[in-house]
Amino acid sequence: MFLADPAKYEAKPDDNTRVGARAASASITVVGTSGCAGCEHGVHPLGAPDTLGLAVNSSDGNVYIVENAHRLYPALYEGRFDGHQLRVAGAVVKRQGKFVWLQPESLERLQ
């Protein structure tokens, strides 16, 4: 039956899936304290899972993981354990519970 009509069995996204896909690419700006994504939260950057990652712990309870921070912002990455106040802007790559992975457009230390 499948071979006769494969389109009939193809998964079709519903409206909620499409809304989620649009939201996943939205650009946001977040302020919070620096931290280690791997050490403090047990998560890693999607694009470099062998690194510990830079987390921005925001007051809204979410943890924002900055993709490629080790390469793009080496000084801030090295100082991630110091609890610096950071502002990150970027596109949301993935959301999972309180964790949000960002492809950064900018990252700056506020203190």
Q: Please, which residues have CB within 8 angstroms of residue 81's CB and are 6 or more apart in sequence?
A: 34, 35, 36, 39
Task: Please report the pLDDT score of residue 53 as a whole number.
Answer: 97
In order of their start, the domains of the chain are: 26-109 (2.40.50.500)
User: Is residue 38 within 8 Å of residue 30, measured between CB atoms?
Assistant: no
Task: Please report the pLDDT score of residue 19 as a whole number.
Answer: 41
Task: Please report the pLDDT score of residue 26 as a whole number.
Answer: 75
Q: What whole-number distance in Å separates Cα of residue 64 and Cα of residue 35?
A: 10
User: Is residue 60 within 8 Å of residue 76, measured between CB atoms?
Assistant: no
Task: Please report the pLDDT score of residue 77 as a whole number.
Answer: 96
Give ∠ CA 27-33-36 in degrees, rounded to 5: 90
0.75 cut: is pTM over it?
yes
Which residue bears the tokens 């009509």? 5
Task: Please report the pLDDT score of residue 111 as a whole number.
Answer: 73
Task: Please report the pLDDT score of residue 8 as a whole number.
Answer: 65
Task: Please report the pLDDT score of residue 55 as a whole number.
Answer: 98
- Per-residue confidence of the chain (111 residues) as pLDDT tens digits? 656 776 666 655 444 434 444 445 679 999 999 999 999 999 999 999 999 999 999 999 999 999 999 999 999 999 999 999 999 999 999 999 999 999 999 999 997
